[in-house]
Structure 1
Amino acid sequence: MLGNIIGIEGNTVYLRLNAELTDIKNIINLYVNMKDDDIQTVGEIIEINEQVATINLIGEIVDKRFVFGVMRKPSFSSEVSLISKENIGKIIGIPNYQDHKDLYFGTSPIYPEIQVGVNINNFFSNHFAIFGSTGSGKSC
């Protein structure tokens, strides 16, 4: 367990880290799983200050699938741990890459063993936007 939840404010969770984790600097930007019985909330560690990690909530794992957005917040008694490799793949990866069905972007710089991509049908059936300033390569 990474630590204990000491505060929840909007979509931000504050976690008091276990003493042995306070010297680890490379957990920023990693995903965490906050588990309560059948509820699994996913967040990203964005800051560590004085043994307290700030975590932005990004979604939930429902029926073994990742869903963006949080309907239910974790509780103060939630078990908080770094997310498993299996669940990382559900968030940013392509579980079973298939030619002509998936669009492969590359590998994650934070999780190098995870292939990042999207299912083409799912991607183009929703709204999306490409942002950038003039000359940044939006039309490439």
Structure 2
Amino acid sequence: MIIAGFGFNSGATRQSFQEAVDLATAFLEVHAQEGIEALATAEDKLGYNALQHLSGEMGLPLWAIRLGDIAQAPVGKSEHSPDRYGNRRLAEAAALIGAGPGGSLIGDRMVSTDGTVTIALASGPGRNV
């Protein structure tokens, strides 16, 4: 199962999210046999309309990742990530946690042209979140 994890700021638009997904999809076409099967982000960002619409249009579930899990994720830190995420890179943390036990990141995170959305991909059995 491939999970797309998202990090984003309040300036993110529907177009920014779509661009990030397009980058990830192009990457997967070259490097994987599967496509994205679920989207994930921090529970406090779940209500962001542009991401909700993207999930609906793609017909994919949008999983809320608990803040405490993000803060403990085995991913790098970012100076742009707030304390509530343990300063962890949100896209990578959400993807990896969503991928479940034994999951692993696929490639490097990708960033929308305007810099407002990051997306990371992880593969694993999936997790009930």
What band does the TM-score fall into relative to the shorter chain?
A: under 0.3
Which of these two proteins has the greater Rg computed from alpha carbons? 1
Structure ranking higher on relative contact order (CA contacts 8 Å, 6+ apart)? 2
TM-score (norm 1): 0.26
Say which structure is richer in helix.
Answer: 2
Say which structure is richer in strand.
Answer: 1
TM-score (norm 2): 0.28
